Structure formats: structure tokens, C-alpha cells
Structure 1
Amino acid sequence: MSVFSARTGLAAVALLAAVATGGCAQLRSHQGYVVDVDLVNSVQPGVDNRQSVLATLGKPTITGQFDQGDWYYVARDSRNYAFRNPRPNAQITLQISFDAKGTVTAIRRSGMEQVASISPYGKKTPTLGRERGFFADLFGNIGTVGAAGAGGGNNGSNTGGGRNRP
């Protein structure tokens, strides 16, 4: 075996090792709001309103769904290796509550305790209902629309408050 082929083989192994270890490098990512502690601390309950919070912190990540009294600013740092799923490393959730007039009433901060880890259970999600197969789901509603006791029609009863019509 010549010295040249031994060096070429050694270089190929070193190159392959460098590529393999490069694929295991940790990837970091940031999602959501970029938190500036000084700006967040400048928002005061009872002093600021929606317009001043919008001017100071910017548009919220999420607004309350049922009432528009809460704004949420969410920031998450994640890490992962190669092709694995990202895992949250740190998270900050800033919740700002407003009253009916738009004045800040409360500011709450939370962290990683709000992150839920959900693991799917096999190929099927367990439910508290009855077990139904494919054909029961496909043909299960045949005959129930408009049937007595199924809520499909008014069955001759007067639910509209007016006269019964034939």
C-alpha cells in the first residue's frame, strides 16, 4: 500500500467524520415577541391604555378570544439537534389585561410552566364516547334527520310563537 493512498484514505475518513459531527450541531431558534425588559417595565397598571401599550410594545402576539380585554406577548426560544423535533428551552408569556375603558388593569408574566408536552397515544386518540367503526361513522346519520325525538323538525309543535300552519 502506498503512502499516497493511505493519506487519501485518512483524509476521506477525517472529512466524513467532520461532516457527520456537523450534522449533530445544536440549532437554536427564537419565535414570537422580542422581549425588551425596559419597555415591558415601563408599562404601568392604571396609567397606560391600549394606545400607549401599542406604541410601547407593539402589536400583541395574541388577543383574547372571548373578550378583547387581554393581550398576550409570547416569546419562545427552542433548540434541536439535526432532524429531531424542536424542544422549548425558554418561554416568556406577558399577559396585559385592560378594563372596559381600555386602561391597563394587570400585567402577568409566566414562563415554561405554561408549556404543555403532548404525546400522542398510538395511532388512535382515546375518547370517552362509544366505539364506532368506519361504516358506523359513514352511515350513522341515515334516518336520524327529522326523526321524532332527534330534534330534526318541530313535529307539529308550535315552537315559533305563532299559529300552527298545515
Structure 2
Amino acid sequence: MARHPRSVNAFRLATCLVLVTVLSGCTWITNTLGPAPVQRGNRVDPERLAQITPGVQTRSDVEALLGSPSARGTFDENHWYYISAQSRLSPGRTLLIEDQRVVAIAFNQQGVVSEVRELTDADGRPVTMVSRETPVPGSERSLLQALFGNLGRPGMGGTPGVGNPASLGGGAR
């Protein structure tokens, strides 16, 4: 018994609509019923940031307006960074960064603001991770050592008195 081509197409269309509805519902469920976004770091208020004028404010003025910086320059104390982001746990239990903001403030040698700028993704540099491990001497074992390494060691077979703390009276009772 052959099906009518129109009913097959209608069935396919209905199946696609159901799948689209279900998948869009998953996104809605994740966003509404999932964990709320978490604010991380020191978020700089744009109104307060606008109050900082290069050549006028000092380090203490900036700290009074914006609070302590999230980070300072590693080799140069004249650069302060205010880093903030909103993060959320995704359904796969990975951390998603939703709204990241980095404000960089540079000071001259006298401690007066010389530059204020907001860094974007274009200012970032790609970092490649190195997956090598530092070898530890003596930790490499051959296959035979792994298989037969514990043979002949005292106390391994439950021999009383030799390397067995339970037989010495020091075990749990």
C-alpha cells in the first residue's frame, strides 16, 4: 500500500515544526529556568568612568571613584585594569562568558591619569596552551615494574608484624 505524496510531505513538515518548537523551547528553558547569570569582577559604572579626566585625577581619586582595580600591571604599577564579566553555567556544565568588560587606566610617573580606555575583543591576543608535562625523575615505570612491582614487599600479603599496622596494635578498632 503506497502513501500519497502529499501526506508524506505534510508528515515531514509537521515533524520539522515539532522539532523546531522543541529545540527553541530548550533554549527558553535554559535561559529562564537555568541558573541566573553571575556578576564577576569589579564592574565600572560608565557615569563614574566619565568623571575621570586624563591629566587631572590621581591614583587615589580613581580608587575613590571606581574602587580597587581587579589587576595591576605585572611589571608596571602604572597600569590598572578593571575586569568584569557575567557568566552562566550552560547545560553541558561549561561556563559561558556573556558580557565581558575591561577598562584600562594608565598613570604617569607622578601618579596622574594619562590614559583611560575600554578594551575590546580586538585588543586581545590569542594564547596557545602548551600541553607538555614536566617529567619527574623516578616516576616512570616499565610494564614489568607495573605488573610485578609489589611482589616480595613486606606487609603486602597480610603478613602479621611486618609492615602491617593492624597487627602492631595501631590499627582502627
TM-score by length of 2: 0.53
5+ residue gaps, structure 1? 1-20, 140-166
Let me know the Cα RMSD of the aligned residues.
3.1
Name the counterpart of 1:108: 117
Name the counterpart of 1:88: 97
The answer to whether the 8 A contact 2:43-2:82 is kept is no
Name the counterpart of 2:62: 53
5+ residue gaps, structure 2? 1-28, 139-173
SS at 1:44 equivalent: coil
Residue 72 of structure 2 is aligned to residue 73 of structure 1: no
SS at 2:65 equivalent: helix
Percent identity reads: 25
The answer to whether the 8 A contact 1:27-1:81 is kept is no
Aligned residues: 109
The answer to whether the 8 A contact 2:90-2:96 is kept is no
Greater fraction helix: 2
Residue 40 of structure 2 is aligned to residue 31 of structure 1: yes
Which one-letter code corresponds to 1:54 in the other structure?
E
The answer to whether the 8 A contact 2:69-2:82 is kept is yes
CA positional deviation for 1:67: 1.3
The C-alpha deviation readout for 1:129-162, integer Å capped at 9, x for no partner, is xxx9x5xx416xxxxxxxxxxxxxxxxxxxxxxx
In structure 2, distance between residues paired with 1:70 and 1:93: 12
CA positional deviation for 1:27: 3.6
SS at 1:42 equivalent: coil
Structure 1 residues 118 and 77: alpha-carbon distance in aligned structure 2, compared to 1, 3 A threshold = farther
Which one-letter code corresponds to 2:65 in the other structure?
T
In structure 1, distance between residues paired with 2:113 and 2:61: 10
The answer to whether the 8 A contact 2:81-2:103 is kept is yes
TM-score by length of 1: 0.55
